[in-house]
Chains A and B, each alone.
Chain A
Amino acid sequence: MLDMRNVSKIYRTTTVETHALRDFSLDVREGEFVAVTGPSGSGKTTFLTIAGLLEELTHGEYVLDGVDVHGLDDNQRSRLRNEKIGFIFQAFNLIPDLNVLDNVEVPLHYRRGIGAAERRRRATQALERVGLSARVRHYPAELSGGQQQRVAIARALAGSPRLLLADEPTGNLDTAMARGVMDLIEELHREGATVVMVTHDPDLAARAERNVHIVDGMASGIIEEPSMRPAVRAQGEGAFRIPGAED
């Protein structure tokens, strides 16, 4: 599903070269729930921008759902993002000028061949899924943080993506709301969704099937979920791969 091999990301300014990600490899299979952890500044966010096709990688190989993203132009990447990825941001990133229903419809506007009725149907369905059908006419500012994040999850689901990418999904929420949002993400996973979640919070990470820890742009160790998948081993310079996927 998500297959990164020896990916590096280097930010260059005229004076400084920053290696935000070095020789990073990760393979996420369909239906997996992977947490990417690490202290702040470790390269978690860079991983997310590469995985989410928001930026191009400097070196390495990245295949998303069978598509080699290398050499894709901006329009193709936009289209791939739109069709294959559902984003869940820490800051929710709802558009304040649009009501809940319009927010959920946003990604569907950028997909060809979907009429207004179909958009409405899918958005309504997604909102039902997150339990917010009663709030479609509200504006984001009128909702609690937990509700806003649910709307954002509905927006991610509306496009029926292959992969959910979550960035600290509970970072801006209090404990009770955070629990609700995490329960929802786990539920989606149980229904078959592939989830990659970036977080610095070990408690959250513990709810994933598998953890990858990044330090200084490199995967630095294994935090296993013994009950689920023990067989993750180091490969190359501290990168990790799932053994089964290698063959």
Chain B
Amino acid sequence: MTTLRPILSALRRHKIAALLIVLEIALAFAIVSNALYIVVGRLQRIDLPSGIDEPGLVLLQLATAGAGRGTVASAQADLAALRAIPGVESATAINSLPLSHSQWGLIYALHPMRTFSGGVQAPVYFGGPDLLKTLGVRMLQGMSFPPSAYRDLTPQNAFKIFVAARQALITQAYAKRLWPHANAVGKIMYMGETPVQVIGVVSNIIKPYISANAHDPGNYYAVFSPFRAAPDLNAWYALRCRPAVCPRVLKAAAGKLQAMHPTETLNAQESFMHMRQRYFRNDRAMAWLLAGTVLALLAVTAVGIVGLASFWVQQRTRQIGVRRALGARRVDILRYFQTENFLLATAGIALGCAAAIGINVWLMAHYAVPRLPILYLPIGAVALWTLGQFAVLGPALRAARVPPTVAMRAA
């Protein structure tokens, strides 16, 4: 049986090579644990629920040119035609969409304010009475707007009227932010000095663009206002359909809109799933890139371990033979090198922990990277221990095959 002390004292006689392995493992550990954390953060962002019923939602956007085109009246006609397409369950025009990058935002506060600053910003979604149903957003408390509450928004009046709404629905997350301990329904919030009554709380819906932190509750702040939107304000047509028939519905809808507006152009026609995928493609690319780099880094580290371990085996061929002559079994030799590698990896991991935390603190200060959860350290440690054991296996097996007769050769 081998014990640690003689291995340690042997390592003390090979300080440079031992330090190099420790350093390499430490660096790899520090980089790998941080990179993995960023990868997981990105993957969590990609997986964030949008709060809407995604598979059955398709979107079209009509680009219109010139005054009097793409108005609310023309949108009503478009929507009526779209609802007539077989498979369409409901249809609405909406000013902006989750994960679309384009948002109308307002700031609401608990007290009247002379300026817009100081409150909590939220994207504002508006469409017609069918909006919630089409998106798949649920009423949780209170009630939605009465049909008579809806007003038309036009390019001429948009800026003035948009900020003048007196009633709103807000998401659960936003309600919790403004009134953490009370029921929001019936409460008054202020847009500047304008009082706005919360008449209902709806299930969460994600913002048009979200923060880097997947766990930020602000990603789900949203306010719904009682307006009708139209293509002249870059509104989207959103159609709900059974997922199986959605591709067909989208095609039919595009054909119908194009036929109704031969001189306009369809700016976009896609499923919400597709829009979502587009939104997160940078995150996905970054995750792949980091994962690839992590793998390459581990490979390089393994090469380093194999190289130095091979050298050590070669350098110690004679003493391996002597140990064999003195009664060491092959497995004893194997274990010696494995234990040695384990000790070096452990030292590297200990050093790497400090470096990993240092790098994370630096990343937090300079980039939108949250604190590294402590869980990543043991995961990284196991990864590098395993890597070390795999890398040293080849040289260690070669060492175990050194015949005891080596001890007999003349020095």
A78 & B328 in contact (Cβ 8 Å cutoff): yes
B393 beta carbon closer than 8 Å to chain A: no
A98 & B318 in contact (Cβ 8 Å cutoff): no
Q: Which residue of B lies closest to A112 (CB)?
A: B1
Instruction: Specify which chain B residues have a CB less than 8 angstroms from the CB of A139 in the assembled complex.
Output: 13
Given known pairs A49-B405, A54-B407, A167-B408, the reply for A99 and B9 (CB within 8 Å) is yes
Instruction: Specify which chain B residues have a CB less than 8 angstroms from the CB of A107 in the assembled complex.
Output: 326-327
Q: How large is the interface on B (under 10, 10 to 19, 20 to 34, 35 or more residues)?
A: 20 to 34
* In-complex Cβ contact of A109 among B2, B322, B331 (8 A): B2
Instruction: Select the residue from B6, B326, B331 with max chain A CB neighbours within 10 A.
Output: B326
A52 beta carbon closer than 8 Å to chain B: yes
Instruction: Specify which chain B residues have a CB less than 8 angstroms from the CB of A87 in the assembled complex.
Output: 325-326, 407
Given known pairs A54-B404, A82-B326, A109-B1, the reply for A93 and B10 (CB within 8 Å) is no
Instruction: Specify which chain B residues have a CB less than 8 angstroms from the CB of A159 in the assembled complex.
Output: 326-327
Instruction: Specify which chain A residues have a CB less than 8 angstroms from the CB of B14 in the assembled complex.
Output: 97
Q: Do most interface residues of chain B lie in helix, strand or loop, or is the interface mixed?
A: helix
A128 beta carbon closer than 8 Å to chain B: no
Instruction: Specify which chain B residues have a CB less than 8 angstroms from the CB of A105 in the assembled complex.
Output: 6
Given known pairs A49-B408, A90-B410, the reply for A54 and B403 (CB within 8 Å) is yes
Instruction: Specify which chain B residues have a CB less than 8 angstroms from the CB of A45 in the assembled complex.
Output: 408
A79 & B329 in contact (Cβ 8 Å cutoff): yes
A68 beta carbon closer than 8 Å to chain B: no
Given known pairs A105-B6, A109-B1, A110-B332, the reply for A95 and B322 (CB within 8 Å) is yes
Q: How far, in angstroms, from A172 to B411 measured CA to CA in the complex? A: 9
A65 beta carbon closer than 8 Å to chain B: no
Instruction: Specify which chain A residues have a CB less than 8 angstroms from the CB of B9 in the assembled complex.
Output: 97-99, 102
Instruction: Specify which chain A residues have a CB less than 8 angstroms from the CB of B1 in the assembled complex.
Output: 109-110, 112
* In-complex Cβ contact of B408 among A48, A81, A116 (8 A): A48
Instruction: Specify which chain A residues have a CB less than 8 angstroms from the CB of B327 in the assembled complex.
Output: 78-79, 81-83, 107, 110-111, 159
Instruction: Specify which chain A residues have a CB less than 8 angstroms from the CB of B407 in the assembled complex.
Output: 54, 87, 89, 93
B410 & A109 in contact (Cβ 8 Å cutoff): no
Residue interface mask A132-146, B partner, CB < 8 A = 1: 000000010000000
A41 beta carbon closer than 8 Å to chain B: no
B324 beta carbon closer than 8 Å to chain A: yes
Which residues 119-175 of A sit at the B interface, judged by CB distance below 8 A? 139, 155, 159, 167, 172
Closest CB in chain B relative to A9 CB, distance in Å:
11
Q: Which residues of B line the A interface, CB within 8 A?
A: 1-3, 5-6, 9-10, 13-14, 318-319, 322-332, 403-405, 407-408, 410-411
Q: Which residues of A line the B interface, CB within 8 A?
A: 45, 48-49, 52, 54-55, 74-75, 78-79, 81-83, 87, 89-91, 93, 95-99, 102, 105-107, 109-112, 116, 139, 155, 159, 167, 172
4 closest pairs, A vs B, by CB?
A82-B327, A91-B411, A97-B10, A107-B326
